[in-house]
Structure 1
Amino acid sequence: MGKFKIHPIVMGSKRFDKGMMTYQHDYGQPYIIPIYCWYIEGGDKNILVDTGEMQPVISEDREKDLGGKIYTFEEGLEKYNLKPEDIDIVIHTHLHNDHCENDYKCENAKFYIHKKELEHIRNPHPLDYRYLEDYIDEISERDQIIVIEDDQEIVPGIKVVNTPVHTEGGMTVLIDTDGGTAAITGFCVIRENFEPPVQIKAMEMEVIPPGTVVNTYQAYDWMIKVRDMADIIIPLHEPEFASLDTVPQT
């Protein structure tokens, strides 16, 4: 079959301390990240990775700082002549609220979600307030969820791998593209996490774990594994994609 193209669609944003993304580094530095829904073009299925925020803050200052337009779910899909009911498959990197708030709109889709994410959203630890079961109630009631327990191929050319970095059930999505294997990370990072500045590399660190992790040592090791299994790394919240219609090389 043909290769896939990956289209980032900004469906939200967050302003916060940069240290939320870069473990032990750049605390106190204001930062803005995009929240993406990724449209995977190719094959005979309409596929999304995550669904973004239901009611994103859309303002001139946020779009200026991101360098790209912020869309509602419907507006973002309309760019590709799609409606929520046209979506066949949604693959979830994880179930923190900003990644799944529009799930209920995709009434005809199958949702691929790791078992541990479903366990945590239904019984969250107090520290993990980002899990809100309300956002998956409807797809659960409509029996749309396919539970993932092991690494597996979703369709030919698209595979998921459990990467317990940011959450225990986080899944990195490996996609066959013209430029090679692209990895949409199953954990919340930016480019700098994979390409640290020289002062961090001088500390003999190859990567920087995200600011919120399950286990810091394990997160570091998993980031190295993800880096080495892909030709194109797509950090889940990297701002560089906000101004692009298609991820370069895909």
Structure 2
Amino acid sequence: MDTVSIGSVTIAPLLDAPVLMNPRHFVPQHADAFLAEFGHQADERGLFTMAVTCYLVRSAGKTVLIDTGLGPRKRPGFPPGRLDEALRSAGLAPGDIDLVVHTHLHIDHVGWNTVEGAGGKPEVFFPRAEFVIQRQEWDYWMAPGRLDAPGNEHLRDCVEPLRHTGRIRFVNGETALDEHLVFVPTPGHTPGHVAIGVVDGRDRGIIIGDASHHPAQLIHPDWSPAFDVDPVQSAATRDALFERAISEGLLWFAGHWPHPGIGRLTLRDGRRVFEPL
């Protein structure tokens, strides 16, 4: 799939990396039920394939990248990403990106913000881009004790180096990026987590970030991943977002669902289902 359109806005899915998910780590409280219901989708080890998909959006004359994947560094438990190759395949260089928009600041959404420069020092990968980040999200992760915590090397490598570049635009809550793109607060996975709403006339879509990680949550929105900061809030957010997508006929972009994660949610015999494009 190359691009899809929402009115004048075009959106292209860029696969950074496939990843494997173990339900016993992903949803430990519901792992047995997950495997009983969806085990036919797993490999012989009981692992499920998920995606790390970023979305390239062209809107109002700007080229916008929604999240930046895992990045080139080898992280424990993750493969290195290849967003750089996906961009080249789309005919783009890092300097062609005008805006980098973050749904949140987890490891698999900020990885290509920087690469290793001279002497191993982090160097911003997108030389012209402005980075748009929710202020609540930034303040949460940059707090002493989180920024320096073991396991948060991605914050020190890929987020904190942006601090003094003069290229961060902080926003709060439901803020418009342009006449077509707007932040949609979707808290729970992280405190400042947002989706990106896309609107042009009657055409509408939503890029959901990590509001949902797997289509199983259509049926079981309460199956909150272990890494949700507030699992009760994330479940309520997820359920409401599913209902909104169905009632408004939103084109759905889910970066961790099987790539490219694009389709529509609908009801079939009273049950929520995903119809991929």
Q: Distance in 2 between matches of 1:128 and 1:156?
A: 38
Gaps of 5+ in 2: 1-5, 36-45, 114-123, 265-276
Which residue of the other structure, out of 121, 133, 136, is the alignment partner of 1:116? 136
How many residues end up aligned between the 2 structures? 228
Higher relative contact order (CA 8 A, sep 6+): 1
Do residues 100 (structure 1) and 115 (structure 2) align? Answer: no
Gaps of 5+ in 1: 63-69, 197-204
TM-score (norm 1): 0.77
Structure 2 contact 253–263 (Cα < 8 Å) conserved = no
Partner of 2:70: 53
Which residue of the other structure, out of 155, 168, 171, is the alignment partner of 1:132? 155
Q: Sequence identity of aligned pairs in percent? A: 21
Q: Distance in 1 between matches of 2:222 and 2:254?
A: 12
Do residues 8 (structure 1) and 10 (structure 2) align? Answer: no
Partner of 1:36: 53
Distance apart, 1:179 and its partner CA: 8.4
Partner of 2:230: 215
Structure 2 contact 186–211 (Cα < 8 Å) conserved = no
Structure 1 contact 172–185 (Cα < 8 Å) conserved = yes
Structure 2 contact 14–53 (Cα < 8 Å) conserved = yes
Structure 2 contact 71–81 (Cα < 8 Å) conserved = no
CA RMSD of aligned residues (A): 3.2
Partner of 1:146: 169
Q: Distance in 2 between matches of 1:206 and 1:134?
A: 33
Greater Rg over alpha carbons, structure:
2
Q: Distance in 2 between matches of 1:31 and 1:113?
A: 30
Which residue of the other structure, out of 71, 86, 93, is the alignment partner of 1:76? 86
Give a deviation string over 1:139-170, Cα, whole Å, max 9, x none. 32211111122211101111112211211111
Partner of 1:67: none
Distance apart, 1:38 and its partner CA: 0.8
- Identify if the C-alpha distance between structure 1 residues 3 and 229 changes in structure 2 by more than 3 Å, giving closer, same or farther: farther
Structure number with the higher strand fraction is 2
Q: Distance in 1 between matches of 2:256 and 2:70?
A: 13
Which residue of the other structure, out of 17, 24, 28, is the alignment partner of 2:29? 24
- Identify if the C-alpha distance between structure 1 residues 224 and 189 changes in structure 2 by more than 3 Å, giving closer, same or farther: closer
Distance apart, 1:108 and its partner CA: 0.9
Partner of 1:225: 240
Give a deviation string over 1:162-190, Cα, whole Å, max 9, x none. 21121111111111269832222132633
TM-score (norm 2): 0.70
SS in 1 for 2:62: coil
Structure 1 contact 51–100 (Cα < 8 Å) conserved = yes
Do residues 85 (structure 1) and 131 (structure 2) align? Answer: no
